[in-house]
């Protein structure tokens, strides 16, 4: 049995038995195989035994093919690779993507204790690095497509450690195993911007000046992000590839 599927990631999901197959094989040199199909009642007891029909065999084949495709589709692009994708590691278990986004206006949410009103605000160009269950973000000083030598800046947000790791708090991260690269990057951007910013990680401000004052001003005025307030972190894109 070398084709067992690891379901440890699905332990929180309840599966119900629906049907069962029993394979019979005749004795002798010219072996013949006969397959019997059973339905399951609400207690999981096999009932209604009958030979496997062509329709049922077709449904089984389709399900198996779908599972195979699901396992190999992770991080594949739908079409031509999007231009904002910088690097892909398509491994099913350790898959990761590095991409960038240009400066844009996004809805931003802050907890009441920060004294910053939630609302639309401009964010700088950003570099994102994500796996299925972790995210790192950095800022860029320009909207041009970065190269390996492009310097990175601290992301000017709350809930981010000095190394760029994002503290997602109680946000439930659910990245599909069959997610294409477009779904993957959009999901992470939505998780990041749709969660509430609550506190700074560490003693240092991620920007030159007061981070709370900065975002109060940006939300109230709607002006573009002041690039001159970004702080370099002495890393480049190349550091993310190692």
Structurally, the chain folds into a number of domains equal to 2
In a shared domain, residues 122 and 66: no
State the pLDDT at residue 43. 77
State the pLDDT at residue 7. 45
State which of 46, 72, 98 marks the end of a domain. 72
In a shared domain, residues 28 and 89: no
Please report whether residue 78 resides in a domain.
no
Please report whether residue 140 resides in a domain.
yes
Q: Give tens-digit pLDDT for 144-168.
A: 999 999 999 999 999 999 999 999 8
Please report whether residue 108 resides in a domain.
yes
Residue range of the domain that includes 185: 85-241
Q: Give tens-digit pLDDT for 63-99.
A: 654 555 555 567 888 788 899 999 998 775 678 999 9
Please report whether residue 182 resides in a domain.
yes
State which of 48, 72, 96 marks the end of a domain. 72
Residue 136 pLDDT greater than 80, yes or no: yes
Residue 60 pLDDT greater than 70, yes or no: no
Residue 32 pLDDT greater than 70, yes or no: yes
Please report whether residue 79 resides in a domain.
no
Least-confidence region, from 9-13, 193-197, 215-219: 9-13
Q: What is the mean pLDDT of the chain?
A: 85
In a shared domain, residues 90 and 178: yes
pTM: 0.71
State the pLDDT at residue 217. 96
Q: Tell me which residue of 150, 151, 179 sits closest to 88, measured CA to CA.
A: 179
Residue 10 pLDDT greater than 70, yes or no: no
Residue 185 pLDDT greater than 50, yes or no: yes
State the pLDDT at residue 22. 80
In a shared domain, residues 120 and 227: yes
Please report whether residue 51 resides in a domain.
yes
In a shared domain, residues 214 and 105: yes
């Amino acid at each position: 049995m070398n084709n067992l599927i690891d379901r440890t990631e699905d332990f929180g999901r309840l599966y119900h038995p629906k049907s069962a197959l029993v394979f019979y094989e005749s004795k002798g040199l010219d072996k013949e195989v006969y397959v019997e199909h059973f339905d399951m009642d609400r207690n999981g007891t096999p009932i209604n035994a009958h030979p496997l029909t062509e329709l049922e065999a077709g449904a089984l084949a389709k399900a198996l093919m779908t599972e195979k495709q699901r396992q190999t589709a992770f991080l594949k692009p739908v079409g031509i690779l999007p231009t904002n994708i910088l690097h892909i590691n398509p491994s099913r278990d350790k898959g990761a993507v590095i991409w960038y986004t240009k400066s844009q206006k996004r809805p931003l949410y802050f907890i009441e204790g920060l004294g910053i009103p939630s609302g639309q605000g401009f964010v700088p160009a950003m570099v994102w690095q994500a796996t299925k269950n972790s995210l790192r973000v950095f800022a860029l000083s320009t909207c041009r497509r970065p190269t390996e030598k492009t310097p990175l800046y601290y992301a000017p947000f709350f809930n981010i450690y000095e190394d760029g790791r994002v503290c997602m708090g109680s946000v439930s991260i659910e990245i599909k195993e069959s997610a294409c690269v477009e779904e993957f990057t959009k999901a992470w951007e939505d998780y990041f911007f749709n969660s509430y910013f609550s506190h700074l990680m560490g003693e240092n401000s991620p920007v030159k000046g007061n981070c709370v004052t900065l975002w109060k001003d940006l939300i109230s005025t709607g002006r573009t992000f002041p690039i001159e307030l970004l702080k370099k972190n002495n890393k480049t894109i190349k550091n993310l590839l190692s």
